[in-house]
Amino acid sequence: MRGGRRGRLGELGRAIPTLLVAVCLLDTALRFAPIDPLTFRAWEALTPYRPSGAAFQPNRRYQTNRSYGDLTAIGNLRSLRRYRAEAFTTDVLGFRNAAHVLGSPVDAILVGDSFAVGVGVLDDETLASRLSEPGDCRIYNAGGEAPGAGPDRILALARHLHMRHRLVIRLYSEDSEVPDIPTAWAMTTRRLVVGAPADARRLFGRLRGILTVSPLKILAERAWKTLEDDRILPNREAGYVVRGTLYNGDTMLFLTSRVKRAYERREAAAGYWKWLGDELRKEGFDLLLVLAPGKYTVYRPFLVSAGPVGPAADDYLERLERESRAAGVSVLSLAPVFRAEAARSMADGKYLYWPDDTHWNARGVALAAGAIREQWPRLGTLCRDEPLLRAQKP
């Protein structure tokens, strides 16, 4: 058995390393190719190569008619996909705005996660666009930086904008974690990143994308997931998603981790929001915190089989709203509006969230924008008004 003769065994000793090198080179080469055709929505296409400090690749236009929900992708549930159009435009700073927004006076900056950015909706259906609609208001959409931009990033961004009024609207979605107050070291690091030359940040983003995104892997995963269809092979991803049935018989998907979380009591601390408000106030900015309910919070009462909710495990947003208000933060919760509207519109088979996605749809975004304007009328007058008065309460 001991070591073979080179002549006859030599083939395998060359063939396998050659194969490994070939696949490695192919993998590397494909990393330089555009990944848009391999993605199902803008988020996947535009975030991996984003420069540091930006949410997306700058100056990009992503358009597809075959976008579908993240939950069907996470749970590999092809049959439950709902295809839709998505048009996604980014500006020179790497945020989801039309190019002309940068040239105009800006009244407020909207920051937050993917709920603020808008997922599965067209550019003119995002929350920033809806809030800008009624008059001359201009809301700059700076959403997309998970878990949310800190004051340093917001202020750095504001320096690039022509700010007519100094207002920051921070959308906090219930499904995400409240960020920790960063340490001095973390703040210094962030400032260094934000202050780095644009070319260096772009190069870093490009390198990060090349290192982390493998088109070959995406293709292989797609092929493999086709096999894991619960017929040929068990669908191992299905457990990440819960299929709920509403009273009207429609199917609604939820992320399993979010469903589990609904039955746990979460700490509703306002420390971060107070700190953020104070930091912004030092630079003359006001903060409005908007609390967006998660999909399960809104639709759980309408599910045929919803698990029991433990004592006080269900009022996270209400507690967070109370705590934040007590800490002097201007805060507005969208939960009551969404619950009421969900009950009303479900009878017509209309929803506020995509049934196959964690995010709200265009109807939900419009409702959120309407609720913010209605419950915080100051925003409506802001755009025609003198600079905003401080610390207004909704």
Residue 13 contacts other proteins per CB under 8 A: yes
Residue 184 contacts other proteins per CB under 8 A: no
Strands across the sheet with 139-141, in order?
Answer: 139-141, 105-112, 162-173, 286-292, 330-333
Question: In the bound complex, what is the minimum distance in angstroms from residue 220's beta carbon to other proteins?
Answer: 3
Residue 29 contacts other proteins per CB under 8 A: no
Residue 11 contacts other proteins per CB under 8 A: yes
Task: Tell me how far apart the alpha carbons of residues 32 and 257 are, in angstroms, rounded to a whole number.
Answer: 34
Question: In the bound complex, what is the minimum distance in angstroms from residue 225's beta carbon to other proteins?
Answer: 8
Strand segments, DSSP code E, in the chain are 61-67, 84-89, 105-112, 139-141, 162-173, 241-245, 251-255, 286-292, 330-333
Q: Which two tokens stand for residue 239?
A: 């457990």
Instruction: Give the dihedral sign, CA 358/89/369/51.
Output: positive
Nearer CB in complex with other proteins: 195/234 = 234
Task: Tell me how far apart the alpha carbons of residues 145 and 181 are, in angstroms, rounded to a whole number.
Answer: 16
Which residues 234-263 are close enough to bind other proteins by CB under 8 A? 234, 236
Nearer CB in complex with other proteins: 243/350 = 243
Task: Tell me how far apart the alpha carbons of residues 2 and 16 are, in angstroms, rounded to a whole number.
Answer: 20
Which residues 307-336 are close enough to bind other proteins by CB under 8 A? none
Q: Which of 149, 111, 107 is nearest to 127 (CA)?
A: 111
The residue within the footprint of other proteins, chosen from 112, 208, 217, 259 (CB under 8 A), is 217
Where does residue 132 rank: exposed (0-12), middle (13-18), buried (19+ CB within 10 A)? Answer: buried
Nearer CB in complex with other proteins: 15/340 = 15
Q: Taking contact as CB under 8 A, which single stretch among the options 133-141, 214-222, 340-348, 386-394 is the one that binds other proteins?
A: 214-222
- Spacing of C-alpha 292 from chain mean position: 12
Q: Taking contact as CB under 8 A, which single stretch among the options 15-23, 86-94, 193-201, 367-375 is the one that binds other proteins?
A: 15-23
Where does residue 17 rank: exposed (0-12), middle (13-18), buried (19+ CB within 10 A)? Answer: exposed
Q: Taking contact as CB under 8 A, which single stretch among the options 20-28, 114-122, 138-146, 186-194 is the one that binds other proteins?
A: 20-28
User: Is 149:136 a contact under the CB 8 Å cutoff?
Assistant: no
Nearer CB in complex with other proteins: 193/210 = 210
Nearer CB in complex with other proteins: 13/147 = 13
Nearer CB in complex with other proteins: 15/200 = 15
Residues that bind other proteins (CB under 8 A): 1-6, 8-13, 15-17, 19-20, 23-24, 27, 214, 216-217, 219-225, 228, 230-234, 236
